[in-house]
Amino acid sequence: MKQRSKKTLIVGAGEAGVMVLNELRKSSKIQFEVIGFIDDDPQKQRASVQGVKVLGGRDTISKNVKEHNIEQIIISIPSADGSTIRDIVSKCKKTEADIKIVPGLQQIISGEVSLKQIRDVYPEDLLGREVVQINTGAIKEFINSKVVLITGASGSIGSELCRQIAYFNPKHLILLDHNENDLYFLELELAAQFPGLLFTTIIGDICDVSLLDNTFDNYKPQIVFHAAAFKHVPLMEKSSCSAVKNNVLSTRDLIYIAEHYQAESFVFISSDKAVNPTSIMGATKRIGEMILQAKAGQSKTKFMAVRFGNVLGSKGSVVPLFKKQIEEGGPVTVTHPEVRRYFMSTKEAVQLVLQASTLGAGGEIFILDMGEQIKIIDLARDLIALSGFEPDKDIQIEFIGLRPGEKLYEEMLHNIEKDKATKHDRIYVSQANDFNPQKLREQVKELEQLVHVMDSEKLIEKIRTIVPLYKPQG
């Protein structure tokens, strides 16, 4: 019995859309009847592409779905920016049709499109970012046959670093984290996916100097990726001593130990919140950058930092929270109607971290091109729509106010860095500032003493003297 054809609409009548049309026509497993294209180009509208009419622009999606009983919409505009993709998805979600997307410009241009690439719309598709192009040869040369240590190895960034580094044939991968459960599951994953990979898992606290020294003494890591940190902004506002201990003092100790054991390269994972910080978390990250840059000027080890914004779908991001709230029927809580954030996928962030690592001569802060800032309210509405609900009708959105330490928007560059920054593809390079290493060491030692006696008030005042741009809220 012949299977009934599925009536399909393709959004995008360009090269990618035509490739999708041809792929659908070749499919023997599933029958598709492509009813038409949707394209905003006035010159294409009402024309035909390989015998298939362009029925109108994106504003006609709902009308055409009803008129032609469309069952499936395939979005095939891989070069579109985030706002365009979000608008198209929003219009498609107002219909009853299934929505699919073809991601990845490079795969399409190279002719690699197949039905495997046509899939459901993921949250990261709403960013509208092209597939990042990296110099894999340079990364392989950097990683190949090296002993690599990753702190915070079971976290969102740390675990993705493990996965991607494993492809570049490290001699030995050392995974350090205090989260035993997540590290256990990462261990199982790596063993299954990379049977030839030599790796060692170490359960321990990054603040334990003896553990750090023992790890370097035993394994002699040549490359260090320092991803371990306390990152939750509101929680760190209430735990300033812990934030300094974990983000500043442990970073200092790790930097000194890495130099002592003559590591070749040290990559510190920083944050956009280190720029003009309003939070303890951001200020501690900035001090970490300062320690690293001060040490870089005196060391053979190549010390560098990589700064980027929010990672979509990470454990601490808004996406898992919004999804959970949607599953529970709402409300979805947003801090402020005007709050905006930079986002990128975990995979892209780590690819760029690895690329930046190959560029450093020592002392640089590499700033990843995060693209456009996205309003959190728009992201919330999009995720509600992607889940099959109508915002403000099926799922309510509730504004709860900015939390302690939070800004309305983030920044990627200090003002003093803007004139120095040069763009390398998707990576900005900011050269080292001039720090007095001796003075900074003394200031950090004072922080350590204040942490020891748990004097949060004096601790914050000391941080303000170290980071003059730090402006605590309230």
Two tokens, residue 367: 């700033």
> Considering the domain boundaries, does residue 469 fall inside one?
no
Burial of 212 from C-beta contacts in 10 A (0-12 / 13-18 / 19+): buried
My answer on whether 151 and 96 are in the same domain is no
pLDDT score recorded for residue 422: 54
Which one has a higher pLDDT value, 26 or 280? 280
Residue whose tokens read 């000194």: 256
Q: Residue 306: enclosing H or E segment and its boundaries?
A: strand 302-307
| Euclidean distance between CA atoms 348 and 368, whole angstroms | 10
Tally of CB atoms within 10 A around 402: 16
Which one has a higher pLDDT value, 219 or 340? 219
Q: What total of structural domains would you count in the chain?
A: 2
pLDDT score recorded for residue 206: 96
Among 181-185, 251-255, 336-340, which stretch is predicted with the lowest mean pLDDT? 336-340
Residue 307 identity (one-letter amino acid) = R
Has 273 been annotated as catalytic? yes
Q: What are phi and psi of 387, to 5 degrees?
A: -85, 0
Residue 386 has pLDDT above 70, yes or no: yes
- The DSSP line for 35-104 is EEEE---TTTTT-EETTEEB---GGGHHHHHHHHT--EEEE--TT--HHHHHHHHHHHTTSSSEEEE---
Residue 168 identity (one-letter amino acid) = F
CB 279 within 8 A of CB 237: yes
Two tokens, residue 385: 């729509």
Which one has a higher pLDDT value, 178 or 360? 178
CB 61 within 8 A of CB 8: no
Q: What are phi and psi of 327, to 5 degrees?
A: -60, -30
363 phi-psi bin (left φ>0, alpha ψ -120 to 50, beta other):
left
Residue 81 identity (one-letter amino acid) = D
| Euclidean distance between CA atoms 213 and 153, whole angstroms | 18
Two tokens, residue 323: 């999804």
Two tokens, residue 201: 């898992």
CB 223 within 8 A of CB 265: yes
Instruction: State mean pLDDT over 6-24.
Output: 86
For the stretch 88-131, pLDDT in tens is 888 888 888 888 887 654 444 444 444 455 666 666 666 655 55
Q: Residue 37: enclosing H or E segment and its boundaries?
A: strand 32-38
My answer on whether 118 and 142 are in the same domain is no
Domain of 85, CATH number, reads 3.40.50.720
Residue 356: which of 263, 289, 248, 269 has the closest Cα?
269
Per DSSP, 174 falls in state: E
Residue 411 has pLDDT above 60, yes or no: yes
Two tokens, residue 426: 């998707």
My answer on whether 122 and 144 are in the same domain is no
> Considering the domain boundaries, does residue 187 fall inside one?
yes
Tally of CB atoms within 10 A around 2: 5
CA 419 to chain centre: 26
My answer on whether 120 and 175 are in the same domain is no
Among 42-56, 153-167, 287-301, 386-400, which stretch is predicted with the lowest mean pLDDT? 386-400
My answer on whether 102 and 165 are in the same domain is no
Two tokens, residue 393: 């009708």
Residue 441 has pLDDT above 80, yes or no: yes
> Considering the domain boundaries, does residue 367 fall inside one?
yes
For the stretch 344-357, pLDDT in tens is 778 888 988 999 89
pLDDT score recorded for residue 241: 96
252 phi-psi bin (left φ>0, alpha ψ -120 to 50, beta other):
alpha
> Considering the domain boundaries, does residue 459 fall inside one?
no
My answer on whether 113 and 236 are in the same domain is no
270: helix, coil or strand?
coil
Q: Among 146, 273, 295, 407, which one carries the catalytic annotation?
A: 273
Residue 177: which of 151, 147, 156 has the closest Cα?
151
Burial of 340 from C-beta contacts in 10 A (0-12 / 13-18 / 19+): middle
Residue 31 has pLDDT above 80, yes or no: no
> To the nearest whole number, what is the mean pLDDT of the chain?
85
Domain limits for position 309:
136-438+447-452
> Considering the domain boundaries, does residue 474 fall inside one?
no
Residue 446 has pLDDT above 70, yes or no: yes
Q: Which three-class secondary structure string do you get for 443-463?
A: HHHHHHHHHHCCCHHHHHHHH
For the stretch 247-294, pLDDT in tens is 999 999 999 999 999 999 999 999 988 988 999 999 999 999 999 999
> Considering the domain boundaries, does residue 464 fall inside one?
no
Do the bridges between strand 98-101 and strand 119-120 make them parallel or antiparallel, or are there none, so unpaired?
antiparallel
Q: What are phi and psi of 174, to 5 degrees?
A: -110, 120
CA dihedral 35, 38, 39, 45 (to 10 degrees): 60
My answer on whether 112 and 146 are in the same domain is no
My answer on whether 248 and 346 are in the same domain is yes
Among 1-5, 73-77, 261-265, 395-399, which stretch is predicted with the lowest mean pLDDT? 1-5
| Euclidean distance between CA atoms 55 and 47, whole angstroms | 8
My answer on whether 123 and 171 are in the same domain is no
Q: What are phi and psi of 254, to 5 degrees?
A: -65, -40
My answer on whether 327 and 202 are in the same domain is yes
pLDDT score recorded for residue 130: 55
Residue 421 has pLDDT above 60, yes or no: no
Helix ranges restricted to H, 80-179: 82-92, 105-109, 136-143, 156-166
CB 398 within 8 A of CB 332: yes
Residue 229 has pLDDT above 50, yes or no: yes
41: helix, coil or strand?
coil
Residue 192 has pLDDT above 60, yes or no: yes
Q: How many residues does the chain have?
A: 474
My answer on whether 98 and 231 are in the same domain is no
Residue 406 has pLDDT above 80, yes or no: no
